Amino acid sequence: MAKSPLFQSLLDIFEAKNWQAEIVDQKKEVIHSLFEAHHSKIHVYAQVFLPINTLSIITEAPLAVDTAKHLSVLFELINRVNKLLVLGNFEYDLDREQLVFKISHISESSQLSEKIVASMLHSSITELDRLIPCASTIQKSNLADLLSLSVGSLLERQDWVPKSNEKNQSSK
């Protein structure tokens, strides 16, 4: 099956950047990659949508929660973070127990910009990676601690944020 020019440009960018990726669905033009971030390994899916020349990048990390109370606090965290975002959004996939970040870009041509793809990928990984410690704290809290847990305080923690000079992402 022939690849669309948009999908081929995505594959070319991954190759030029030395990011390993595998095609997981040739017909839907989807690739998967795994990146080592500061807090976790992040699964990355990139898909192009024709004829609107759109690239969507989805990053995921597993996160199982035990109770409805844990889930409600996690949803509060996601809602608070989404209110602050300019691009992209967080979701929680209940069926697969995955913390998810999504971002999309509509390209003006049939070729993707390497800078835009790299920026989208870096942002997606960084956004998900910065939320993982907060979500893990919620996940690991017992029910009594959840009642006193301040989601706002979790989001203000600076000790979980990698220093800007750290090289925190590499494709596996």
Interval 71-124: pLDDT, tens: 999 999 999 999 999 999 999 999 999 999 999 999 998 899 999 999 999 999
**Containing H/E element for 78?**
helix 68-84
The whole-number pLDDT of residue 168 equals 47
- Answer yes or no: is pLDDT of 54 > 50: yes
Q: Mean of the pLDDT values across residues 133-155?
A: 93
- Answer yes or no: is pLDDT of 154 > 60: yes
Provide CB contacts within 8 A for 75, sequence distance 6+: 92
The whole-number pLDDT of residue 158 equals 84
Q: From CA 5, how far away is CA 58, in angstroms rounded?
A: 21
Residue 66 CB neighbour total at 10 angstroms: 12
> Which sequence spans correspond to the domains of the chain?
5-171
Task: Answer whether the bond into residue 162 is a cis peptide, omega within 30°.
Answer: no
- Answer yes or no: is pLDDT of 167 > 70: no
Q: Mean of the pLDDT values across residues 21-33?
A: 96
CATH topology of domain 5-171: Yope Regulator; Chain: A, (3.30.1460)
Mean pLDDT of the chain: 92
